[in-house]
Amino acid sequence: MQDERALPVSRKISSWRQFKAILRKDIVMELRTKEMLTSMGLYAILVLLIYYVALSQAGQGFDVTRIAGGLLLLAIVFTSMLGLNRSLVHEQDQGCLEALLLSPIDRPIIFFGKAVGNLIFLLLVQVFVVPLFYFIFLSGGMATEHTGPWWMVALALIVTSIGIAGVGTLLATMSVNTKGKDFILAVLFIPIMFPLLLVAVAALSAVITGDPEYVRIFWTMLGAAAVYDVIMISAAFALYEFILGA
C-alpha cells in the first residue's frame, strides 16, 4: 500500500448504525448457515414428539388444554436455551467477541443487537412450532372446544419471548467462557426466568382453556410479564458492561 492515509477516514459514531450492523450480521450469518434455526426447530419437534408419547396413554377423558399452556412454554424455553448458547458461541469463534469489544461501541449496544437477533430467531421458530403444537395437541380428540382467541396466545408468547431473549442473552454471555456452558446457562436461566414462566403459563392457560375469567386473568398476567421484562432487561442493560469485562 503506497499511502494508507490517502483516503481520509472520517467517522461519526452512531449507536443506531452499530446496532443495525450487529443485527444485520447475525441475520446474514444465520440465513447463510441456518445453524440456529435448524437446531432449534428440530429440537422443538423432538420435544413435541416426547409430549405426544407422554400423553399417548392419558385416556379419553383427559383434557390436554388444561396443561397446553405449560407444555407449549416448556417447548419454547428448552428450544430457546439451545439457540441462546449458539448465538454467543458464534461470537467466540476465531475471537470475534474480542473484535466486537475492541470496537468503539458501548457494551449495551452489543447487548441490544444480540438480544433483538435472538428474539427474531426465537419468534421465527415459534411461527413453525405453535401451529404444529396446535395441530398435534389442540385440534384432535385430546382437546375440548373452548379455546380463547389466538391473537392472545401470540401476544403472550411475544411478551414472554422478549424476556427470554433479553435475560437469555445476558446469561449466555456470562456462561460462554465457562466450561460446560450449556449446563451453566440452564442452571442460571431457569431460576431467573421462573417468575416470568409462572405468569406466562397462567396467561396462556387462561386463554387456551377459555376460562370464564380468561380476559381478566390474561391481562393481569401479561402485565406482570411485561413488568418482569422491563425490570430484567433494564438490569441486563446496566450489567452488560460489567459482565463483558469480568
Partner 1 sequence: MSDFALEIENLTRTFGVRKALDGVSFNLKRGAFLSVFGPNGAGKTTLLRVLSTLAAPSRDSSVKVLGYDVVEDAVELREHIGVISHNPLLYPDLTADENLQFFADLYCLENPKERIDELLEAVELTHRRLDVVRGFSRGMVQRLALARTLLPSPELIFLDEPYSGLDPHASDILDSLIAGIREEHTFVMVSHDLEKGLSLCSDALILARGKVVLFEAAENIERDEFSRIFREAVGRGVS
The C-alpha atoms of residue 123 and residue 109 are separated, in whole angstroms, by 21
100 closest CA partner among 12, 173, 182: 173
Residue 4 CA, chain-centre distance (Å), reads 44
Site for partner 1 in 4-23 (CB under 8 A): 4-7, 9-14, 17-18, 20-22
Q: Of 112 and 133, which CB lies nearer to partner 1 in the complex structure?
A: 112
Map grid coordinates 426466568 to a residue: 193
Q: Is 137 helix (H, G, I), strand (E, B) or coil?
A: helix
Q: Which region, judged by CB under 8 A, interacts with partner 1, from 25-33, 37-45, 74-82, 161-169?
A: 25-33
The C-alpha atoms of residue 230 and residue 196 are separated, in whole angstroms, by 11
* Per-residue binding letters, 94-113, with partner 1 (x by CB under 8 A): xxx-xxxxxxxxx-------
Q: Of 7 and 53, which CB lies nearer to partner 1 in the complex structure?
A: 7
* Per-residue binding letters, 69-98, with partner 1 (x by CB under 8 A): ---------------------x--xxxx-x
The C-alpha atoms of residue 226 and residue 223 are separated, in whole angstroms, by 5
Chain contacts with partner 1 (rule: CB under 8 A) = 1-7, 9-14, 17-18, 20-22, 24-25, 28-29, 32-33, 90, 93-96, 98-106, 245
